[in-house]
């Protein structure tokens, strides 16, 4: 449990496409008001491309950057790809919140069998020594293959820690792959290793 004085919720963003003159050139929009694009980020009008918040996917600056790189790569005849399931979502609160991949609710809705491991920062040496023992790391893995399907972190520097998991998931890592990776001590990232160990009930410092 984390105590707070105020909880601020800012929701309801929408793509700012009204003043772009899209109707004048015939660019098609979705029912949600986003620009429709194909796998190459090309709109319904040849040679007009769109990326970022005006198309589908999470409305995040780093997602838009990846869109832009992939779009230009494909314009240049190269291969480009953005996996929206592996775009980290970060909330810069105190403590920070970071998410990646599927949540438990999503996996249940999909009927995907999964296992999970959690590790509290209160048992992490660096977090305790630096005065940030709040929060935890949770890893969700496929029950059959052990492939990591989602990672959720609440705690100090969560937005930095999550990128270790992003790299692992891009390469299809299992929770055991993370668990068997040597982590420096004392570091906050040791909580990731412990959460991965906890997927199979093998956490060391619980």
Return the CATH number at 164: 3.30.390.30
Per-residue pLDDT at 32: 87
User: Mean pLDDT, the chain, as a whole number?
Assistant: 95
Residues 146 and 120 in one domain: yes
Which contiguous run of DSSP H or E holds residue 193?
Answer: helix 190-198
Which residues form the catalytic set?
Answer: 185
- DSSP per residue, 3-52: --S------------TTS-HHHHT--B-TTSPBP--TTSB-SSTT-B--G
CA angle, 152 then 153 then 159, to 5°: 110
Residues 106 and 68 in one domain: no
Q: Could you tell me what percent of the chain has a pLDDT over 70? A: 100
Residues 184 and 167 in one domain: yes
CB 100 within 8 A of CB 151: yes
Structural domain boundaries, residue 153: 86-198
Average pLDDT over residues 158-178: 98
Count of structural domains within the chain: 2
Average pLDDT over residues 99-113: 98
Kindly state the tokens that stand for 101. Answer: 């991949």
CB 68 within 8 A of CB 51: yes
Residues 105 and 183 in one domain: yes
């Amino acid at each position: 449990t984390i105590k707070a004085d105020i909880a601020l919720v800012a929701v309801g963003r929408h793509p700012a496409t009204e003043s772009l003159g899209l109707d004048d050139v015939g660019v098609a929009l979705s029912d949600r008001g986003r620009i429709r694009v194909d796998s190459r980020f090309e709109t319904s009008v040849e040679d007009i491309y769109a990326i970022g918040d005006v198309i589908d996917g999470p409305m995040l600056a780093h997602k838009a950057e990846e869109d832009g790189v992939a779009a230009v790569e494909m314009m240049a005849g190269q291969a480009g790809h953005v996996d929206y399931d592996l775009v980290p979502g970060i909330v810069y609160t105190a403590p920070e919140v970071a998410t990646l991949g599927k949540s438990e609710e999503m996996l249940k809705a999909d009927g995907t069998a999964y296992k999970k491991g959690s590790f509290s920062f209160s048992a992490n040496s660096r977090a305790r020594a630096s005065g940030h023992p709040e929060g935890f790391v949770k890893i969700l893995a496929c029950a059959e293959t052990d492939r990591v399907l989602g990672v959720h972190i609440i705690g100090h520097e969560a937005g930095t820690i999550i990128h270790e998991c992003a790299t692992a998931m891009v390469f299809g890592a299992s929770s055991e792959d993370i668990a068997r990776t040597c982590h420096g001590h004392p570091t906050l990232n040791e909580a990731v290793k412990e959460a991965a160990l906890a997927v199979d009930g093998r956490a060391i410092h619980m």
